[in-house]
Structure 1
Amino acid sequence: MDRLKGIEVVIVVAEEGGFAPAAKRLGMSPPAVTRTVLALEEHLGIRLFRRTTRVVRLTESGERYIAGGRRVLDELAEAEASASGAHKGLKGQVAVTAPGMFGRLFVAPIALDFLALHPDISLRTLFVDRITDLVEEGLDVAVRIGHLPDSSLVATQVGLMRQVVCASPSYLASHGVPRAPNDLEGMEGIDFSFSAPQRHWAFRSSGRSRAVRPRSRLSVNSAEVAVAAAVAGRGVARLLAYQVEAEVRAGRLEIVLADFEPPPLPVHVLHVEGRHAAARVRAFVGMMVERLRSEDWLS
């Protein structure tokens, strides 16, 4: 069995959503496509697709298989182009993920500039406020804010990000400006977390860490909603500096308790290397690192 051909067939079936349209695109007969998929499933010992009379969908194992399969085909194409002397520019797809607001504000402009420089590159973005698995979700590059667990990913630190407490001028005028973390206990806090409300806010005082729990009537899982709520005077918010930078500059929010902020969080650009990263991924990572390191809000 030609396993490279099998990878190609599985990818096309997944993209077309069926065996018949995949056969048409591949120039094969539908029975030949079916036999190829069945032979590959038998070889792997897994089911790649869920089949019904109406739809064909990838299983979880199938999702992982085509994510790796795409990388194999891309690396093979790049190796062949280099060996034949036809490698005149970067080709293929780069898939990047980042936190939602960060991705829209900072990664997207870099990605668009990268596309303009490399006309044979395609790019896929996934901007979500959750930790993604690069391998399982078929991603090449990620931006992460926070301390990293040990992993096989290659990480390049591009800066540090402050965690700030802020509120609107009107809220501070009516409730007072907090002078110490304990003052927050009498104020309304806007809880914001990627996965669950952060009931306690950590601060640093006299070299030691301390936690404070503001009262809260509002918990959100979107940075934009937390920022909007703070601007509307709904309470005090704990956010990352880049998320409130525009509102602070415009005077709609004020940062408080700056002297008690915890240590800033590291910001990394990560990528899947394997034996060696594709040239297009290395080029994209290089551009991301250079551009992010030039941002004023990163220390």
Structure 2
Amino acid sequence: MDKLREMEVFVAIVDQGSFTAASEKLNMSAAAVSRAVHSLEARLGAHLLARTTRSVRATDAGMAYLETCRQVLDAITDVESNLAVDSGNPVGTLTISAPVLFGQRFIAPLVNAYALRYPDVNVNAVYLDRPTRLLEEGVDVAIRIGHLGDSSAFAVKLGAVRRQTFASPAYLAGRGEPIHPRDLLAHDCVSFTGVSQPHEWLFYENAVRLPVRIQPRMVVNLAPAAVSAAMDGVGVTQLLSYQAAPEVSAGDLLPILRDYEPDSTPVSLLHMERRGRSGKIRSFVEFVTETLRKNTYLQGPPAL
């Protein structure tokens, strides 16, 4: 096995966290992956991986060698990308995931336009209200709403949204507007489980967390259902700002308790490819990024 392939195997093991996952990613047998590591360690005269029954991690020597491997492989990828990858004419199947309502409002129209522009790319669009695991679920590009933890994915920031509290003008006219979050104890509430706990809503007061216990009149698991209930005057609801943006613009819902909103929540595009190795991924990222960044609903309402 050549040196570059051994480097690829070593990097894949570290990135994937196991020999088995690396073999699946590289389409190699587990035995071939193991032989590559033994050959590499024998040639370098150093142990690069520490193995236990549950995990594999790079040793100190392995971490130092890992960075060099990445630089070498990235350099080769850059050259090959410039020669072989044509982002103006990508091919293959592109799998995309996004939250349901976000996908319906903002991603689906861009996916449709992308499919028309690039007829050689087939698109598998999956809309789910849960984070997808890119490697494990075979997702090329994912839209993520939330703060990102440690991840091997590459993130492109698209904008931000805020958790807000809403009510209809008719409800507020009949019941009065709550001035402080604790006033919600005297109001009917519609809890959307995709944003808030059913019996506890989160606010901030003077930069300090302020959880407020409520007794919801209704609990729903879909944002449109919460929007509909609030518009019909069933009660007050909490949503992410983009989920009620059209209704706010139309005057059907009003944001309330603005002084107690949490900080904004980032919206990111995630992918696993290094330096645009995949023409289909690079072309999609370039196609949607600027449009989404210019979307006023993703700038988040201004903080008060």
TM-score of the two chains, using structure 2 as the length reference: 0.68
1:282 aligns with 2:277: no
Query: Following superposition of structure 1 onto structure 2, how do residues 1-299 of structure 1 map, counting pairs within 5 Å?
Result: 89-194=89-194, 197-273=197-273, 277-299=277-299
The 3-state SS of whatever aligns with 1:216 is coil
Offset, 1:255: 0.8
Alpha-carbon separation, structure 2, partners of 1:87 and 1:154: 18
Alpha carbons 1:192, 1:221 under 8 Å: kept: yes
CA distance in 1 between partners of 2:297 and 2:165 (Å): 16
Structure 1 Cα separation of the partners of residues 140 and 195 of structure 2: 24
Q: Which amino acid aligns with 1:288?
A: V
- What is the identity, as a one-letter code, of the residue corresponding to 2:296? D
How many angstroms apart in 1 are the aligned matches of 2:87 and 2:284? 17
Structure 1 position 185, deviation (Å): 1.6
How much has 1:194 moved relative to structure 2? 3.2
* Structure 1: tracts of 5 or more residues without a match: 1-42, 46-78
Q: Distance in 2 between matches of 1:185 and 1:277?
A: 54
- Kindly provide the CA deviation profile for residues 126-173 of structure 1, in whole angstroms up to 9, marking residues without a partner as x: 111112112222110011111112111111111110111001111111
Note if contact 1:98-1:126 (Cα within 8 Å) is conserved in structure 2. Answer: yes
- Matched position secondary structure for 1:97: strand
Change (3 A) 1:195 1:245: closer
Gaps of 5+ in 2: 1-28, 32-79, 300-304
Which amino acid in 1 is paired with 2:97? Answer: T
Contact 1:164–1:256 at 8 Å: present in 2 too? yes
Matched length: 226
Q: Secondary structure at the match of 1:151?
A: coil
- CA–CA separation in structure 2 for the residues paired with 1:170 and 1:229: 12
What is the root-mean-square deviation of aligned Cα atoms in Å? 2.7
Contact 2:87/2:283 (<8 A) preserved = no
Seen in structure 2, the aligned counterparts of structure 1 residues 274 and 243 have a Cα distance that, compared at 3 Å, is: same
Q: 1:236 to 1:92 in 2, by over 3 A?
A: same
Q: Which stretches of structure 1, 4 residues or more, deviate above 3 A after TM superposition?
A: 85-88, 194-198, 274-277
For residues 250 and 228 of structure 1, what CA distance do their matches in structure 2 show? 14
SS in 2 for 1:215: coil
Structure 1 residue 199, shift from structure 2 partner: 2.4
Q: 8 Å contact 2:201–2:213 — kept in the other structure?
A: yes
Percent identity for Structure 1 against Structure 2:
38
Distance 1:209 1:87, change over 3 A: closer
- 1:216 and 1:197 map into 2 onto residues whose CA distance is 10
